[in-house]
Amino acid sequence: MSKINGFVGRRNFLKLVGVGSVGIGASAVGSVLLQGEPAIAQKPTTTVAKPQPVSPQKALERLLEGNKRFVEGKRLNPHQSKLRLEETAVAQYPFAAILGCADSRVPAEIVFDQGLGDLFVVRVAGNVASQTAIGSLEFSTAVLGAQLIVVLGHAKCGAVIAATKGDPLPGRIGVFVEEIKPAVERVRKKTGSLEENAIIANVQYQAEKLAESSTILRGLINEGKLKIVGGRYDLASGKVTLLT
Ligand SMILES: [Zn+2]
């Protein structure tokens, strides 16, 4: 049984996703999925020590420490050297995954003060747990070994605001807005700012959707190898506040 990041290997992952290990189709899926995976036949030009998996709690601490540095103007800009570039060209071991909004003001590596190979980031307007986002997060956890997913919403999120209004939208903009509407309905009658309440409700709703609609993610949670947490990013202060 091959192990990646001390975790689940190629064969197990394919089993997990219901793809057999025989047949042209399966091997094609495997080779496409696993490009960049460390457990490949070719010898890398640089050797990289395989790190221990980072526990959900440690990963969260690392992110919050990085965010604190960012807020205080004390960024270290870690893991951005030429050496890190060479190391990560061989293999990646992200210690956390982020499902964040595509908003230009919320770049995960900057607000958490991380570098190359640290975070597996899925960004889509409104941080919605779309099918493709879920698939990406399954890959980041089951194959790459990340044990933490942070669903990160933010103040003044245009996608959430659009969902509160419900106006017709051009092109495919309405596609992700539709995925936010169930969250808005949860708080429509709640007192206070609908916009603010909806931003928080949307983070919680998308986090629930990840765990409920993915058997892979749910399985990892049950094994204690994954934690999903929600956070809200404040555009003015740069601070990430965890949501419970
Ligand atoms: Zn947004």
For the domain that residue 83 is a member of, what is the CATH number? 3.40.1050.10
Mean pLDDT of 109-130: 98
The pLDDT of residue 45 is 53
The pLDDT tens digits of the residues spanning 2-44 come to 444 444 554 555 455 443 333 333 333 344 454 444 444 444 5
Residues with CB under 5 A from ligand 1 (ion): 101, 103, 157
Q: Domain range spanning residue 51? A: 3-243
Confidence of residue 51 (pLDDT cuts 50, 70, 90): confident
The pLDDT of residue 10 is 47
The pLDDT of residue 30 is 40
Mean pLDDT of 104-109: 98
Q: Which of 168, 165, 173, 167 is nearest to 125 (CA)?
A: 173
Phi/psi of residue 98, nearest 5 degrees? -125, 135
Confidence of residue 48 (pLDDT cuts 50, 70, 90): low
For residue 163, how far is its CA from the centre of ligand 1 (angstroms)? Answer: 11
For residue 68, how far is its CA from the centre of ligand 1 (angstroms)? Answer: 21
Mean pLDDT of 132-156: 98
Q: Is 24 helix (H, G, I), strand (E, B) or coil?
A: helix
Encoding tokens for residue 194?
A: 């609908």
State how far the Cα of 120 lies from the Cα of 137, in Å rounded to an integer.
8
For residue 62, how far is its CA from the centre of ligand 1 (angstroms)? Answer: 24
Phi/psi of residue 235, nearest 5 degrees? -65, -35
- Overall domain count for the chain: 1
The pLDDT of residue 50 is 74
Average pLDDT across the chain, whole number: 87
State how far the Cα of 63 lies from the Cα of 152, in Å rounded to an integer.
12
State how far the Cα of 157 lies from the Cα of 174, in Å rounded to an integer.
15
Report the range of poorest mean pLDDT among 20-29, 59-68, 122-131, 168-177: 20-29
For residue 183, how far is its CA from the centre of ligand 1 (angstroms)? Answer: 14
User: Could you tell me the pTM of the whole model?
Assistant: 0.83
Helix and strand numbers (H, E) in the chain are 11, 5
Work out the end-to-end distance of the chain between its first and last CA atoms, rounded to an integer number of angstroms.
37
The pLDDT tens digits of the residues spanning 210-226 come to 999 999 999 999 999 99
The pLDDT of residue 119 is 98
Encoding tokens for residue 243?
A: 């949501």
The pLDDT of residue 52 is 85
For residue 95, how far is its CA from the centre of ligand 1 (angstroms)? Answer: 24
For residue 127, how far is its CA from the centre of ligand 1 (angstroms)? Answer: 7
The DSSP bridge partners found for residue 98 are: 121, 150
